[in-house]
Structure 1
């Protein structure tokens, strides 16, 4: 690593996170642009699609004017950006409410479900992957491999009904659907099965990744040197090997977060979870394109934010990355 003067080091310390933030700005622009164009690439006239075939010419003209579709495309694009910068994502045609308000109502439910699934995936996979790597080619390793393979074999739409049948209908331990009556214990009870459905697939993928990354690190020379010096095995595994193995693991977690958001659409439908995924499906079936735009934009911007946080996590796991 090059030696910098103290002032240059201080500038470098703050420049690396700032550079990562600046690099996300073009990504945000692309996401917003694609979401804006979605309504314009719908086959046929989107206004006619919204109103249905029985709409009169007066209704079509009035709604086209209300949505600004009678203006040139560049002006519509500028107005869309102006609305977003002021927190306005348009008006829902079917629900007669602000898209921003509807998205903000549902977003916390999807975020809670995704984070709970992520917590289950990480909390299950990291110990299992380490355990598997430390018992290479033994029964513990084979057991973890078989369990992770089973987890990969069950998609959300199959695992969800199975969990409902076992834990809700047969055993009566958890509620079947919904998000509870507004109290925290009820909310958590309703969250268990959807989070398990969404998180088990992630846990299966991460277990194999953690195992592979740990095996690679445990075979390095610095691990053999630490063992030769008499460093406790627990410290070698968790302080040295695991920390260096976190980089590829964090990459997979960041990428899989987008898969969790996409999988939430199916999971929310199965469990009647009132999140953005279920709202998106309802908006598509009702041809409420402004609401579809808002839901997709919320998911897209969340994915961008998670990737930015993943970059920040890299520097925490390995500070040497911040100087690159």
Structure 2
């Protein structure tokens, strides 16, 4: 049995690594060709400067390899990326990997804080709904889901900016985290609340009640484990949206991170920097999905062990 379990784990990680490589190849190729076909590059704006000759611009483009065919440039970029060399940023004139990683950790910490806030709200309200089964509380929960899910992120960010300006909350970090967490609260609360209600109707809950366990103990020790897997799946799927949402939140509130860096890269047509952002974000999404699947697997084993007791 241990050999079979070891083979299963090995197969899982090989499959995830292959998926990760394919994801990077497809994402990088699509991004590179789309960015290169935009019809302009980082040096296009120099043509508006009468003091810079066309020959000087072409020489500058050639020094960065922008005069070569797109396929050849992508091949060179891919070969360098395989050696962990993402090139230099056109705008910042520093290595892309160094720049993106320094900003990524700032956004990653922000994303973890947003996930923590969303989980705290979603789990707390779902627990209260399952424990007390109040129509008023259920209506309140549905209202939060509706409002949080339907409010555009730009509106949330502008509201947070107004709070910052008037000094109600002075921490840029926590305002950014709260703003980023709002749509995730709606998703996790809707999913976990429904999953927990479904779990409370299962046979193992009736068995636990027959043993004399309190409702609180039943929810925390039994129903939570059965309800958490769909929420983990949703978390893995929403990670990309969470990082994407940082573009709006960080730009509006003015917090440095991967989101605001992306806006700067787009504004300056900095292809190496945009590619670096795309790769790092894709790796983060892949890692998040892999972690969610691992946690689901561990939770499934615990559920089976619990059912066997």
TM-score by length of 2: 0.87
Counterpart position of 2:41: 46
Q: Is the 8 A contact 1:159 1:197 kept in 2?
A: yes
Q: How far apart are 1:237 and its partner, in Å?
A: 1.0
2:36 alignment partner, SS class: coil
Q: Is the 8 A contact 1:266 1:277 kept in 2?
A: yes
Q: Is the 8 A contact 1:118 1:199 kept in 2?
A: yes
Cα distance in 1 for residues equivalent to 2:150 and 2:2 = 54
Q: Is the 8 A contact 1:68 1:76 kept in 2?
A: yes
Match of 2:79 among 79, 82, 92: 82
Match of 1:125 among 118, 122, 127: 122
Label 1:119 to 1:50 Cα distance change in 2 as closer, same or farther (>3 A).
farther
Establish whether residue 305 from structure 1 lines up as the match of residue 287 from structure 2.
yes
Cα distance in 2 for residues equivalent to 1:104 and 1:205 = 28
1:219 alignment partner, SS class: coil
Give the total of aligned pairs: 302
Q: How far apart are 1:132 and its partner, in Å?
A: 1.9
Label 1:157 to 1:284 Cα distance change in 2 as closer, same or farther (>3 A).
same
Q: Deviations over 1:246-265 (max 9, x none)?
A: 11101111112111111101
Establish whether residue 174 from structure 1 lines up as the match of residue 156 from structure 2.
no
Match of 1:277 among 259, 276, 293: 259
Match of 2:113 among 112, 116, 119: 116
Q: Deviations over 1:49-106 (max 9, x none)?
A: 3644445332333233222234444432332122212332222222222222221221
Cα distance in 1 for residues equivalent to 2:218 and 2:8 = 31
Cα distance in 2 for residues equivalent to 1:218 and 1:53 = 67
What runs of 5+ residues in structure 1 fail to find an aligned partner? 176-188
Establish whether residue 37 from structure 1 lines up as the match of residue 33 from structure 2.
yes
Stretch of structure 1 that moved more, 302-311 or 56-65? 56-65
Counterpart position of 2:245: 263
Counterpart position of 1:9: 5
Establish whether residue 150 from structure 1 lines up as the match of residue 147 from structure 2.
yes
Q: How far apart are 1:320 and its partner, in Å?
A: 8.1
Stretch of structure 1 that moved more, 200-209 or 129-138? 129-138
Cα distance in 1 for residues equivalent to 2:101 and 2:135 = 49
Cα distance in 1 for residues equivalent to 2:9 and 2:158 = 49
Match of 2:209 among 227, 235, 253: 227
2:75 alignment partner, SS class: helix
Stretch of structure 1 that moved more, 115-124 or 155-164? 155-164
Q: Deviations over 1:119-169 (max 9, x none)?
A: 111111111122223333521212222233222233222123323434x34
Q: Is the 8 A contact 1:314 1:321 kept in 2?
A: no
Cα distance in 2 for residues equivalent to 1:50 and 1:100 = 25
What runs of 5+ residues in structure 2 fail to find an aligned partner? 305-309
Cα distance in 2 for residues equivalent to 1:50 and 1:300 = 30
Q: Is the 8 A contact 1:135 1:141 kept in 2?
A: no
TM-score by length of 1: 0.84
Stretch of structure 1 that moved more, 240-249 or 142-151? 142-151
Counterpart position of 2:16: 20
Label 1:93 to 1:51 Cα distance change in 2 as closer, same or farther (>3 A).
farther
1:7 alignment partner, SS class: helix
